[in-house]
Amino acid sequence: MPLSLQLCFVLGSLAMLLIVFALLKKNLLTVKYSLLWLAFSAVMLVFAACPYVVYVLRDLLNLVMPVNLVYLLLFCFVLLVLLSISIAISQLAEKNKRLAQANALLEERVRRLEQKLEEKNG
Amino acid sequence: MKVLVLIPCYNEEASIQRVVERLRSTCPQVDYLVINDCSTDNSEDILRQNGYNYLNLPINLGIGGGVQSGYRYARDNGYDIAVQMDGDGQHDPAYLSAVLEPVEKGELDMCIGSRFITREGFQTSFMRRVGISFLSGLLKLLCGKRVLDVTSGFRACGREMFCYFADHYASDYPEPEAILAATLRGFRVGEAPVVMEERQGGVSSINPMRSVYYMIKVSLSLIIDRLSYSPKRR
């Protein structure tokens, strides 16, 4: 792998790590959801810094091109992120429903109390 | 016995007033609660101007989430029986006592008003009956309980039953799923014959376009519910 390409990879994965950290710092991302991204950026950084790891893994899995391993990992990672997002949405929908119900019950109670108060005052 | 009739209402401006008035004149001894599921028409104005008892959901939750908030209301306000009745005029309050009776006597935890026992009145379209009998067969297979009118929204629940539903209720098409969940957990589910009418206004929540999707989704969620149920959890 040419040195210039390797440098690009290192800079790219470093940038990704930094972006995730910046988002965390600005509270645009919670730690819970950043873990996957942090782990992925760290792995990418290791791959870029010492490509030897990729070569060894390539040999272990009998792949022809080392880059295929990177693609494979990328794809698995994307699937994992999508699944975790679906889980997060389902949980949010459930909580949202509970919240709406509690709100409706409270609103009804307030209306009833207001009516009672009005009757009492004349 | 304190009885609460829950009337889910989504865009039922054409019929809701008639439904509530009919209920109040036929059964003055029961309380009722209309659940306005964030209607986009004048339903809410009608409810407010007439001084009806109603819940106002701030966002549209669908029939399951709406009915569930009614069950929570019944639980929080100490009711003994909660009856669900459609807001489109399909369900005649004259049959309320028929659906209530087995629950009042303590024979059943959930009693479903069924139009297929005596086969009188409005029987819905042929295709829908095919779908209903398929779901009925699937339910029988999954929990061993034969219920004819699985999609009927006319049902009475005892306190223990609706307290369970207040915490666990399916959201999209909850009627068949509720039967399965109740039967699996040892609640006694049964049917009482009623006569239904054609809806008096508004649009059904299940239209022909979505019915295939509905069948697949309901069947799948029934199977998943059955597979994920373990007797230890109760």
Q: What is the pLDDT of residues B160-199, one digit of tens each?
A: 999 999 999 987 778 999 999 999 999 999 999 998 887 7
* ipTM confidence: 0.84
The 10s digit of each residue's pLDDT in A16-50 is 999 999 999 999 988 888 888 899 899 989 988 88
Q: Locate the chain A residue with the closest alpha carbon to B76.
A: A105
Cα torsion at A4, A5, A7, A13 (round to 10°)?
160
pLDDT reported for residue A66: 82
The stretch A57-85 carries a mean pLDDT of 88
pLDDT reported for residue B215: 87
Average pLDDT score over chain A: 90
Cβ-proximal residues to B7 (8 Å cutoff; 6+ apart), any chain = B16, B19, B20, B23, B32, B33, B34, B35, B85, B86, B87
C-alpha A67: how far from chain center: 24
pLDDT reported for residue B202: 59
- The answer to whether the Cβ–Cβ distance between A104 and B68 falls below 8 Å is no
Q: Locate the chain A residue with the closest alpha carbon to B33.
A: A108
Residue A106 forms contact with B (CB below 8 Å): no
Q: What is the CA radius of gyration of chain B?
A: 17
Instruction: Calculate the alpha carbon distances from B55 to B3, B66, B78, B191 in Å.
Output: 17, 9, 17, 28
* 3-state SS class at B144: coil
Domain range holding B104?
3-233
CB B202 within 8 Å of CB B12: yes
CB B36 within 8 Å of CB B43: yes
- The answer to whether the Cβ–Cβ distance between A100 and B56 falls below 8 Å is no
Q: In angstroms, how far apart are the furthest CA atoms of chain A?
A: 88
Which two three-digit tokens encode residue A33? 């959801």
How many domains would you assign to chain B? 1
Instruction: Calculate the alpha carbon distances from B175 to A29, B105, B147, B171 in Å.
Output: 39, 23, 11, 10
Residue of A90, A95, A97 best to disrupt the B interface, most CBs of B under 10 A? A97
Model confidence at B200, pLDDT cuts 50, 70, 90, reads: low
The answer to whether the pTM exceeds 0.95 is: no
Which two three-digit tokens encode residue A96? 């949202």
CATH code of residue B98: 3.90.550.10
